[in-house]
Chain A
Amino acid sequence: MNSEEPISKPDLYVLARVIKVLKERNKLNRTTLATYTGLSYDRLIKYLAWMSDKGLVQCDSDDDVFLTKLGAETYDELVKWILQYVGKLRFPKLS
């Protein structure tokens, strides 16, 4: 993939990781966020651009990244959504 190419189909795992870290740390600069999420800086920038476009995160002039209210709600919705499916499963007792 070209490094300039924007993300068309983001990986939900990466999105969740970025949001989770931001939820826990409140605000972080991009380099630290890249370290915490285990993403390469270039990849993180692409994801942040995508997330910022969707209103999930905000970046300020100091290079800091914040999670927006929409971002936090989206994450909670995501957890609820997965739980809705996984929670409905009835597992047999296999010994």
Chain B
Amino acid sequence: MEQLLSSKMAELLNVLDQVKRYREIAASMIDFAIIISATAVAVLILNVSRNLWTVFYGGSVALGTIIGNVSILLIILGIVGGILRVTLRVNAVKLEEWKSTLNEGTPGAIKLLQELRWETIFNDIRYAKLGFSLYGIIIMILCWVNGAVFLYLLGVAFLGHVIHLSLNPIAIGLISLVFALALRNKDLRERYEQAGHLDSLLWELRWFESEFRRADFKT
């Protein structure tokens, strides 16, 4: 019976650990937004400088190509940097800190239950749901933007020059959206399901907390 209790407790604490990781995604969205904004500003400054250079000193194809390539490189670096930052923060979340306490058996389980701060856990679940959904949407938008840039470049470099065909911006936007949706379809569905799971977890734990409080757990 004690082993069953320990395994059930481990299950509960593992789920709460996972919530902590999801919550960190929400918290790291600020970092992500800063990195992406900084990238956008850098690209903007680069292109404004190029335009100013062209106005005062005249433009050249080589300069345009270099600035174009650097801009793309900056965008890619910004996105990769943002994702890396989120991943590093999420991976830095300490997990299974409860393991040694739970190894004590029932006393450990009691201690862990006594130490659970329910309001913080409920807030964490709400944040986790937000962060998890938001991150999925942002990744989806980035895929869409990347796809649109790729199609635009393909249109300029290949279709325009080789077969003299031009794609209009609406077509580029729609095609890249379809591609992005096709690519991220599975991830979006999983995130939607996880958000539902987090909702049900919130209800389960609310019930659990109220039952425990009613039973006057702390004697």
Contacts and interface: CB of A to CB of B under 8 A. Distances in A.
Contact of B1 (A79, A88, A89): A79
Contacts of B110: 12-13, 16, 78, 82
Given A80-B1, A85-B212, A86-B8, A95 B190 contact: yes
Nearest to A20: B107
A29 B200 CA distance: 49
A95 B194 contact: yes
A92 B204 CA distance: 10
B130 to A, nearest CB: 15
Contacts, number: 86
Given A13-B111, A91-B201, A20 B219 contact: no
A60 interface: no
B105 interface: yes
A49 to B, nearest CB: 16
Contacts of B161: none
B106 A90 contact: no
Given A12-B218, A91-B201, A92-B197, A82 B113 contact: yes
B106 A89 contact: no
Interface residues of B, number: 36
Interface in B167-219: 190, 194, 197-198, 200-201, 204-205, 208, 211-212, 215, 217-219
Interface residues of A, number: 28
Contacts of A9: 218-219
Interface of B: 1-2, 4-5, 8-9, 11-12, 15, 18-19, 22, 104-107, 109-111, 113-114, 190, 194, 197-198, 200-201, 204-205, 208, 211-212, 215, 217-219
Interface of A: 9-13, 15-17, 20, 75-76, 78-83, 85-95
21 contacts: A11-B114, A12-B110, A12-B114, A12-B217, A13-B114, A16-B106, A75-B106, A76-B1, A79-B1, A82-B110, A83-B5, A85-B212, A86-B12, A88-B208, A89-B204, A89-B205, A89-B208, A90-B204, A91-B12, A92-B15, A94-B198
